[in-house]
């Protein structure tokens, strides 16, 4: 292979750009010459000139043999994988690709119901059948904690032919399960393990952070490099513990991803890996220290944050301390109300749940910025004795836990492909849902295609869509 610098793809991109060749190929904006003036001014000529395509020397994501391959190999070596794929459609495309490559129609996939919606999309594409593990939830705020090894053991016993285990390491809120035990159990039963580490691309870079799931034995690990590292939005990675199934994964990715991947996205993965390799420990060491100091100052001011001790137990092994979850209850207001207050104070948060807010801290957040956040949080008004209004009336649409778990009578794919009809929610009881309903935030599945709409499900959907709302059902 020719290109083997520190960041082979980024260097190849720069070298190509330096030649200043006249472009008679895509993209049509021709180095930014044909774009709207304010757009050109905002992005700058250099950025637009680097928005290149598969020209000689820049390799091809669909069958890499040059700079992309070298960059992927460096990422694999750094993360301890046998093979790494760069993704230009987020972790979503990696999760779907693995499910599509590993599962055939009817195969059972064991998963927690709080999996990301792309996992359900993978089930629709592959025809696999979901088997849910009972999940433990924190009562307040209402977020999923995880699944215990005992529950997985029971599920494996009841489903001896299951094909794949999907783990979320960590949840959106930064909670990590007992992945080592869960993975070992699944392997003992011959299952393939896919780890959704979309929110854990920085794991393992500091001893205070949870371990990288690759170190825990997962067969496939998907990371949204864009969520916590320096890569551009959409840029993510899929790591394989063993190279054996690489061709099947490549084929699935080629089925799902564009044939015109953005080189800005791809190169951002290359430099994000370089940055992690060269400076990751120092950067994340500082970030963890800053996050811990912020937590201490908030605690001293009577503002509690979700702490590792709040989650650690049979269902969770720890918490990413750089993820800050503040319950809204002490303020007597809802999550969206806090978010609106903070926005007026110049701070935009990651997510406002009905009864909490969530913030992400990375090495991009310096001391002065963190101090300005602290100031805004300390200035949050407290409305004593007030019962917070339900956020947009949607708090009742919580994705769990259920009194009676919804019953799956068709696979998500069968329900997706069946003739469907939109009907009023109030006529829905007993019908089979044909759509995935995963209200944002935080996007957890409320109903999965193929599930029977019970009274309890309908009640939650009414909170979400209103009494006159509609739902797509299988037209039986
Ligand atoms: C747990 C989890 N997995 C996967 C994804 C998908 O990641 P991406 O946005 O990179 O496609 C998300 C997105 O928020 C997520 O929260």
Q: How close is the Cα of 213 to the center of ligand 1, in Å?
A: 16
CA dihedral 390, 393, 399, 404 (to 10 degrees): 100
Residue 262: how many CA atoms within 13 Å on its side-chain side? 17
Q: What pLDDT was estimated at residue 3?
A: 37
**From atom 7 of ligand 1, which residue's Cα is the shortest distance away?**
91
**Would you say domain 8-277 falls under CATH 3.40.640.10?**
yes
Q: Provide the token pair at 167.
A: 């783990």
Residue nearest to ligand 1 atom 16, measured at CA: 172
* Rounded distance from Cα 72 to ligand 1 centre (Å): 21
Per residue, the 3-state secondary structure of 227-243, as one string, reads HHCCCCCCCEEEEECCH
What is the whole-number distance in angstroms between the Cα of residue 92 and the centre of ligand 1?
Answer: 6
Residue 377 has pLDDT above 60, yes or no: yes
DSSP string, 260-325: S--HHHHHHHHHHHHHHHHHHHHHHHHHHHHHHHHHHHHHHTT-----HHHH-SSS--EE-TTEEE
pTM of the predicted model as reported, rounded to 2 decimal places: 0.96
pLDDT mean over 235-247: 96
Positive or negative: CA dihedral 373, 379, 384, 388: negative
According to the model, what pLDDT value does residue 356 have? Answer: 94
Tell me what pLDDT residue 389 has.
53
Band of the pLDDT at 385, cuts 50, 70, 90?
A: low
- 25 C-beta neighbours (distance < 10 Å), count: 12
Enumerate the domain spans of the chain: 8-277, 284-393, 395-474
Q: Rounded distance, CA 463 to CA 459, Å?
A: 7
CA–centroid distance, 60 to ligand 1, in Å, is 25
Instruction: State the fold for domain 284-393.
Output: 3.90.1150
Whether the domain at 284-393 and the domain at 395-474 fall into the same CATH topology: no
Tokens 């939005």 -> residue: 233
Q: What is the mean pLDDT of residues 436-463?
A: 91
Per-residue pLDDT tens over the stretch 405-418: 899 999 999 999 99
pLDDT at 329: 87
pLDDT per residue over 86-118, tens digit each?
999 999 999 999 999 999 999 999 999 999 999
- Residue 365 falls in which region: left (phi positive, over 0), alpha (psi -120 to 50) or beta: beta
For residue 344, the number of C-alpha atoms closer than 13 Å in the C-beta half-sphere is 8
- The residue among 45 and 391 whose pLDDT is bigger is 45
CA–CA gap between residue 134 and residue 146 (Å, rounded):
9
Tell whether the model's pLDDT for residue 400 goes beyond 80: no
Task: Give the pLDDT confidence score for residue 388 in this predicted structure.
Answer: 58
Q: How far is the CA of 197 from the centre of ligand 1 (A)?
A: 9
Confidence label for 30 from pLDDT (cuts 50, 70 and 90): very high
**Ligand 1 atom nearest to CA at 95:** 4
Q: Which of 294, 293, 321, 296 is nearest to 306 (CA)?
A: 321
Helix axes 8-18, 263-300, angle to 10 degrees: 130
Q: Look at the alpha carbons of 248, 249, 252, 254 in this order and tell me if their dihedral is positive or negative.
A: negative
Mean pLDDT, the chain, integer: 94
Average pLDDT over residues 116-127: 97
Task: Kindly give the distance from the C-alpha atom of residue 104 to the centroid of ligand 1, in angstroms, as a whole number.
Answer: 23
Top-tier CATH class for 395-474: alpha beta
What are the pLDDT digits (tens) for 48-85? 999 999 999 999 999 999 999 999 999 999 999 999 99
Nearest-angstrom CA–CA distance, 301 and 337: 20
The pocket around ligand 1, CB under 6 angstroms, is made up of 90-92, 116, 118, 168, 172, 196, 198-199, 224, 236
* Average pLDDT estimate for 35-55: 97
pLDDT at 467 over 80: yes
Q: What is the band of 472 on the pLDDT scale with cuts at 50, 70, 90?
A: very high
- 443 Cα to the center of ligand 1, angstroms: 9
Decide: 39 and 45 in contact? Cβ < 8 Å: no
Identify the residue whose C-alpha is closest to ligand 1 atom 10.
90
pLDDT at 2: 37
Q: Say if residues 141 and 149 touch (Cβ distance below 8 Å).
A: no
- Counting from 1 in the atom list of ligand 1, the atom nearest the Cα of 172 is 16
Which of 87, 113, 116, 445 most suits a substitution to test ligand 1, by most atoms within 8 Å of the C-beta?
116
């Amino acid at each position: 292979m020719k290109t083997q610098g520190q960041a082979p793809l980024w260097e190849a991109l720069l070298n190509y750009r330096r030649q200043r060749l006249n472009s008679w190929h895509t993209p049509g904006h021709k180095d930014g010459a044909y774009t709207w003036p304010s757009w050109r001014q905002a992005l700058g000529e250099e950025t637009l000139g680097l928005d290149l395509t598969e020209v000689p020397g820049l390799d091809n994501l669909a069958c890499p043999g040059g700079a992309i391959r070298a960059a992927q190999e460096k990422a694999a070596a750094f993360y301890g994988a046998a093979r790494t794929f760069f993704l230009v459609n987020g972790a979503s495309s990696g999760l779907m690709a693995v499910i599509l490559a590993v599962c055939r129609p009817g195969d059972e996939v064991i998963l927690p119901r709080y999996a990301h919606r792309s996992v359900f999309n993978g089930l629709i594409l592959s025809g696999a059948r979901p088997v849910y593990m009972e999940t433990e939830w924190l009562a307040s705020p209402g977020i999923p904690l995880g699944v215990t090894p005992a529950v997985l053991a029971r599920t494996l016993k009841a489903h001896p032919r299951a094909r794949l285990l999907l783990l979320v390491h960590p949840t959106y809120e930064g909670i990590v399960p007992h992945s080592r035990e869960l993975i070992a159990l699944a392997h003992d039963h011959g299952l393939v393990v896919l780890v959704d580490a979309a929110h854990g691309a920085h794991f393992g870079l500091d001893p205070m952070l949870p371990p990288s799931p690759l170190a825990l034995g997962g067969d496939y690990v998907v990371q949204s490099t864009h969520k916590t590292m320096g890569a551009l939005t959409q840029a993510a990675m899929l790591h394989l513990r063993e190279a054996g199934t690489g061709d099947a994964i490549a084929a699935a990715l080629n089925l799902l991803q564009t044939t015109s991947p953005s080189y800005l996205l791809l190169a951002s993965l290359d430099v994000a890996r370089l940055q992690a390799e060269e400076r990751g420990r120092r950067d994340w060491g500082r970030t963890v220290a800053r996050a811990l100091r912020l937590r201490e100052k908030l605690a001293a001011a009577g503002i509690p944050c979700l702490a590792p001790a709040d989650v650690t137990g049979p269902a969770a092994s720890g918490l990413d301390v750089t993820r800050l979850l503040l319950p809204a209850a002490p303020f007597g207001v809802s999550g969206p109300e806090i978010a609106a207050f903070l926005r007026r104070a110049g701070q935009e948060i990651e997510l406002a749940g009905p009864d909490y807010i969530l913030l992400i801290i990375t090495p991009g957040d310096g001391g002065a910025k963190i101090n300005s956040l602290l100031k805004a949080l300390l200035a949050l008004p407290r409305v004593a004795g007030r019962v917070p209004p339900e956020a947009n009336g949607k708090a009742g649409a919580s994705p769990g836990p259920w009194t009676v778990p919804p019953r799956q009578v068709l696979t998500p794919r069968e329900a997706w492909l069946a003739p469907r009809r939109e009907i009023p929610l109030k006529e829905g009881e007993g019908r089979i849902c044909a759509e995935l309903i995963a209200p944002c935030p935080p996007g957890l599945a409320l109903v999965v295609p193929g599930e029977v709409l019970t009274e309890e499900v309908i009640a939650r959907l009414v909170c979400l869509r209103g009494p006159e709302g509609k739902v797509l059902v299988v037209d039986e």
